[in-house]
Chain A
Amino acid sequence: MNAPLRRAGVVVMVLFGLLFANLNWVQAYKADEYRTSPYNARVQVDQYNRPRGVIEVSGKALAENQATDGELKYLRTYPFKSQFAHVIGYKPVNLGSTGIEQAEDEFLAGTSDRLFADRFRDMFTGEETAGGNVVLSLSLPAQDAAIKGLANNPVGSTRGAAVAVDPKTGAIQALVSMPSFDPNPLASHDTEEAQAAYNRLKDDKEGPLRNRALSEVLPPGSTFKVIDSAAALESGYKPETSIPAGSSYLPPTSGTPIRNSSPGICPETQVTLIEALTESCNTGFARLAVELGSDKIKEKAKAFGFEDTDLKVGNLDGGGINVAASRTGDMQNPDGGEDQAALAQSGIGQNNVRMTPLEGAMIAATVANGGERMRPYLVQQLLGPDRRTIGTASPKKINNPITGPVASDLQQMMVSVVERGTGRRAQIDGFTVGGKTGTAQDGDDERDHGWFIGFVLKNGEPISAVCVLLERAGVSGGSSAAAEIGGQIMQAVIRGEATDAQSRRPAGWPLPPRRAHRQRWHGRCLARHRRGARPYRRGEEPAPGPAGGARLRRALPRRSPHDGDNQPSGRRRRV
């Protein structure tokens, strides 16, 4: 009986060998897949065990953490509530995250490859690797002006959007969608509460969750005439070239005539191109579009970024918030020939032409930047947990939709719009402002959308380009209200740059003493919290120990430009 017993022993060994092999498969080969599986709630709880990185602008935290006593140790809070909701988005426990919180999730959570060195070091020190910090390119005054301008619009619009970009770099200076929402309830650790808050927002008829600046497209109206003008200038037209106009134009194949918005606009049979843009002459641009043909218009629009389905705005190294594609739409008959009626309507930004406010801002920015279209971005800088600079945005050009001379002609035409034409309310004292208004009919609603795209130059150098959209902006006056808001935003950018220039602290320089102290203090409090001890009472100073010192030393670069003690004191803004 011993031979079969031995064989039974071999069978047991084989069975255990199978178990062992399978365990290797599950715990070694598939381990990464399982660890990062979306069904794996462990990783998520693990994420909340360490402080997530801060999203900040000019030293102000837009998204930060608050220590809790619950299973999830840190609560994500948004101190500015609704002001940056469509940029930073939110990071909920149970729902999908959005915005920069989503686009830079790995970096903020501390799991990004860019933070490998920190994780490696913390493996030895035994500390939890905190998340990296994301510095955005936004300008606080500009964002503030955009929010206030949209909210206080005189035409009763409840929905809208505003975008401001730096034409030279593509850095987003302001990005607002109205109405906005408070992301704090969505990040609640009480998942039912978060879900209820989300459902309330989702069911809101005004659609506060929708990002109207990036992901909604609407007919651009007359702002599209800038594209027509660009196509015309590239085809040899000059600002002074006369084009046919008139009080009414009936395209060859259509029954509905195109008219101007008031009888006083270009009733002459011929007007110059610059005059047509300044007055926003519908008949002139409809005829011009038919004259140029749909191919040229479409091609120019595409060069300016229409039809781009892959654009993301976020980090220039990849990742960001998806931007909806702007479209020129169909301008053809079923037989393949050109539908001139549709083309004429498209030429004045109606028919099937659709544009995002970001695209509007980028058109203005390209014109202001001498024809160079820069890739828009939001993430200015990535900082490690110890605030060491890990990456800084290096602006990228996308293309040159127009040549330099065409761009300066177009600048001249758009400046004329603001100085003498429909965009007068965007003027800024001491600066050259150009722009184009737009009033777009959309559906049967008699309230049109009001648009303004524009830019501001100082001594020929572009400072900012904006696009403002007021949805359903009353029966009239929507576009000039938009122009006024656009002017206010650009003014705020100028104001912000002026204060910034005085107080800019280059990245990577040591923290001002008070902030370093605060960080050290916070670190000790955290360490104490982890030990489970009661928090410090007011006035109870932790004993200065080697640990605190070491932490401070690590938080600061060893050598810094300030070591020489030669910087102008008192000028640095505390950030």
Chain B
Amino acid sequence: MTAPAVPAPTPATTGEMPRVRESSGRRNAELALLIFVMLLVLAYSATVEATALDTITGDFWVPVALVAGVFLGLHVVIRFLAPYADPAIVPAVALLNGLGVAFLRRIDLAFADANERADLPIFSGVGGRQLAWTLIAVVLAAGLLIIVRDHRAVSRYAYTLGLVGIILVMIPAVLPSQFSEINGAKLWIRVGGFQIQPGEFAKLALVSFFAYYLVRKREVLSLASRRFLGIDFPRGRDLGPVVAVWLLSLMVLVFEKDLGTALLYFGMFVVILYVATERVSWLIIGLLLFFGGAVLAYVLGASVGGPFANFYQRAEIWMDPFAKPYDDGYQMVQSLLGLGTGGLFGAGPGGGQPNKIPLVVSDFVFAGLGEEIGLFGLSALLVVYLLIAERGLRAGLAVRDSFGKLVAGGLAFTLGLQVFVIVGGVTGLIPLTGQTTPFLSAGGSSLMANWLIIAMLLRISDAAGRPVTGAPGGRAGAAGGGPRHSCMVPRRR
């Protein structure tokens, strides 16, 4: 917030000193923001205990200190390995992640016996697991920053990543239900008591693959066209990839019974395609295909049922959650009632009864929080999410290579879209689909995958912020030092 995300182009003649000062200024801003948000989380935890327990236990600060420690570690890694990265991203994510851990611990308190509440072990319950996952996920993110020193290196493995992404998406669909289905959506791999959601990791892999593929094909996709109704439409054979991805996401919809994930993959692809080709027609085709598919699924669900029944049911609940308030609509009704009870200011941290909402630790975490922090608190959280997405998009704007632009744009947009899909779902704006709320929902897969996405965004924003000439190893090219184009032509690696 203090340092501009896109620094004025540093002239090639500038010496070492100003650049160092500038990067350290960004890092200091990041550190200050980080400390500030950790204090916020600390205050939140204290309020929760004061309200829910009527007393603040002596070790209430331990979970906050643990996450703060690991965030500070990440900050140090960034300071050395990505000094020009956007300073607002990590504090914003840290705020969400820290609040998520504290809120899940608060849910554990609500479910704990009255006499055990005061001494709930730090790593117990959903909150404790989330704390552990946070530590692992941040270490993973730091690891990605350490291993991937140049985001363009990722494009070397683009096809491998694409294959891995599709496999990750497909695994739950082909697995028998008992290994993959939770709450009607087949999105999981369940082995024993352990479960992961491979689709979360697929996002990063698929975005990298799409970006690479489109950088190579963008001329064909954007030039050869037929004009119809004033809009340039691509040739039939060039529609191949988009149709393929559309089919893939429809398969997700049908076999994994999850509209949200389908919407996410498809939206992600269409937006990357649009950014790569700058052709509005792709957006129109994409939207038509998606809504056509959704309407078709609804109609099929109403008439045929089978694999479409789940989507039809969710659409029905969305249209009138209070029609069956105790069975089908129960989750939605409780979510809306929780949000409504919170009202403008909320019941205060620890003052509400978020445990009345089913699945409050995963899908409905936003509604659970909303009961206690109210409209004002939730609006603030939305702004934080928006900040992360817009900062990611900004990194895409500022970075000089097309691959980086597409990856950053795709990841940031997907993050924003995911927040829209799940928050819109739990607040009744769109039919509810089982997505995780990034950084807030309980779940290691989601946390790790989203932290990897953040690491990738940090890496790209570092490349974007890095002065043109001073970069070691000829990073980010453009050695000419002339006036920089705002839109770079793709380069051969």
Residues of A within 8 A of B (CB): 1-6, 8-9, 11-13, 15-16, 18-20, 22-24, 26-28, 30-35, 37, 39-43, 45, 69, 530-532
Contacts and interface: CB of A to CB of B under 8 A. Distances in A.
Contact of A27 (B378, B385, B419): B378
Interface residues of B, number: 59
Interface string B410-450: 00110011011001100111000000000000000000000
Contact of B386 (A12, A23, A34, A532): A12
Most chain B beta carbons < 10 A, residue from A27, A37, A43: A27
B390 A4 contact: no
| Minimum-distance CB pairs A-B, first 6 | A34-B340, A12-B416, A27-B375, A22-B429, A31-B343, A15-B420
Interface stretch (B23-31, B84-92, B176-184, B270-278): B270-278
Contact of B424 (A1, A18, A39, A531): A18
Contact of A15 (B114, B374, B416, B427): B416
Contact of B337 (A4, A8, A28, A40): A40
Most chain B beta carbons < 10 A, residue from A5, A28, A69: A5
Most chain B beta carbons < 10 A, residue from A24, A42, A45: A42
B98 interface: no
Contact of B54 (A20, A32, A69, A532): A532
B428 A22 contact: yes
Given A8-B393, A27-B378, A41-B356, A19 B424 contact: yes
Contacts of B339: 23, 26-27, 34
Contact of A19 (B356, B374, B427): B427
A428 B140 CA distance: 94
B339 to A, nearest CB: 5
A46 to B, nearest CB: 8
B386 A39 contact: no
Interface string B263-287: 0000000010011101000000000
A163 to B, nearest CB: 40
Contacts of B343: 27-28, 31, 35
Contact of A9 (B336, B393, B419, B486): B393
B151 interface: no
B40 interface: no
Contacts of A43: 341
Contacts, number: 147
Contacts of B427: 19, 22-23, 26
B55 A532 contact: yes
Contact of A26 (B53, B278, B386, B428): B428
B299 interface: no
A22 B402 contact: no
A5 B417 CA distance: 14
Contact of B374 (A5, A27, A32): A27
A42 B487 CA distance: 55
Given A9-B390, A15-B416, A23-B375, A31 B344 contact: yes
Contacts of A27: 339-340, 342-344, 370, 374-375, 378
Contacts of A39: 322, 325-326, 333-334, 337
Given A13-B386, A39-B337, A4 B278 contact: yes
B276 A1 contact: yes
Contact of B341 (A2, A24, A34, A530): A34
Given A19-B424, A27-B342, A5 B336 contact: no
B382 A19 contact: yes
B63 interface: no
A489 B432 CA distance: 64
Contacts of A530: 54
Contacts of B54: 530-532
B406 interface: yes
Contacts of B402: 1
Contacts of B342: 27, 31
Contacts of A8: 271, 274-275, 393, 409, 413
Nearest to B394: A9
A2 B340 contact: no
Most chain A beta carbons < 10 A, residue from B114, B333, B341, B396: B341
Nearest to B274: A4
Interface in B248-270: none
A238 B390 CA distance: 96
B382 A20 contact: yes
Contacts of A19: 382, 419-420, 423-424, 427, 429
Contacts of B420: 12, 15-16, 18-19
B379 A35 contact: no
A45 B333 CA distance: 17
A33 B356 CA distance: 18
Contact of B340 (A9, A26, A41, A531): A26
A484 B412 CA distance: 88
Given A5-B275, A19-B423, A22-B428, A12 B382 contact: no
16 contacts: A4-B275, A5-B393, A5-B397, A5-B409, A8-B409, A12-B416, A12-B417, A12-B420, A16-B386, A22-B429, A23-B378, A26-B339, A27-B344, A27-B375, A39-B333, A40-B337
A37 B321 CA distance: 13
Contacts of B187: none
B352 interface: yes
Nearest to A24: B375
Interface in B379-398: 379, 382, 385-386, 389-390, 393-394, 396-397
Given A18-B429, A31-B344, 18 more contacts: A1-B275, A1-B409, A1-B487, A2-B405, A3-B487, A4-B275, A5-B275, A5-B405, A6-B393, A6-B397, A12-B393, A12-B412, A15-B416, A15-B417, A16-B386, A27-B339, A34-B336, A41-B353
Contacts of A31: 340-344
Contact of A33 (B338, B340, B386): B340
A41 B358 CA distance: 13
A16 B340 contact: no
Contacts of B374: 27
Contacts of A45: 353
A19 B422 CA distance: 10
A388 to B, nearest CB: 28
A4 B397 CA distance: 10
Contacts of B385: 16
A399 B218 CA distance: 90
Contacts of A12: 386, 389-390, 393, 412-413, 416-417, 420
Contacts of B375: 23-24, 27-28
B364 to A, nearest CB: 13
Interface in B296-344: 322, 325-326, 333-334, 336-344
B385 to A, nearest CB: 7
A3 B278 contact: yes
Contacts of B333: 39
A575 B251 CA distance: 75
B344 A1 contact: no
A19 B423 CA distance: 7
Nearest to A34: B340
Most chain B beta carbons < 10 A, residue from A15, A18, A69, A532: A15
B485 to A, nearest CB: 9
Nearest to B426: A26
A1 B406 contact: yes
Nearest to B342: A27
Contact of A5 (B55, B337, B396, B419): B396
